[in-house]
A and B are shown apart, each in its own frame.
Chain A
């Protein structure tokens, strides 16, 4: 079972460059999320999606854009990378259901902006 797959796993960017992180899930989950993890900060929500074609802002959305054109994919874009965006990025997905609270996470992407 693939679950939630993030591409790439590592990346180094120069300040001002752009890139897209891909999250793919094969569990037919409706809800998808992008988090960033920084030392001493825990995981903070960047953007999320409750279904194909919908996105919403999380706690720290500035400098990021997202798209959910297909149900199984959730893309996170950095238009002009900044050193403050150096972080580990996690994608997660979750089923629809009154008691379906478990989020399944990808393996993370370590991004360094120099």
Chain B
């Protein structure tokens, strides 16, 4: 079974600065997908970024980028130029494949606060 570990329960960052959220996972699969989801106070789950394990290039989406280290089974999220709207809970998630019986496995989440 796959596991996803987010060991930091909370982090805080000054507005306009950069912050990195950590995530590790455990799997015996060679091909899989990794995700970061954002959950603001509205409770809505929003996909931030996705990484395919077979791609060596790290995914980027505007101010959000990942550091994917396959051998170390590490998948961290870097948020550049932090904004007040980035205040949210962030979940790291794993999916074995895109097939029918593949599901998202989530970490416990980290609460990020952006200070003005």
* Chain A residues within 8 Å of B, Cβ to Cβ: 30-31, 33, 35, 40-45, 48, 50-51, 56, 58, 88, 90, 92, 96-103, 105, 107-108
Contacts and interface: CB of A to CB of B under 8 A. Distances in A.
Interface stretch (B11-19, B39-47, B65-73, B80-88): B39-47
Interface string B18-47: 000000000000000101000000111101
A42 B106 CA distance: 6
B107 A88 contact: no
B2 to A, nearest CB: 11
Q: Please indicate which of the listed interface residues B95, B104, B106, B108 has the most CB atoms of chain A within 10 Å of its own CB.
A: B104
B103 A101 contact: no
A42 B9 CA distance: 11
B98 A98 contact: yes
Given A42-B91, A105-B44, A105-B45, A100 B107 contact: no
Contacts of A98: 98
Interface residues of B, number: 23
Given A42-B107, A88-B43, A100 B98 contact: yes
Contact of B91 (A43, A99, A102): A43
A41 B108 contact: yes
Interface in B75-107: 91, 95, 98, 100-101, 103-107
11 contacts: A41-B108, A42-B106, A45-B103, A45-B104, A45-B105, A88-B43, A96-B100, A101-B33, A101-B95, A102-B50, A107-B44
A27 to B, nearest CB: 14
Contacts of B43: 88, 107-108
Contact of A99 (B42, B98, B104, B105): B98
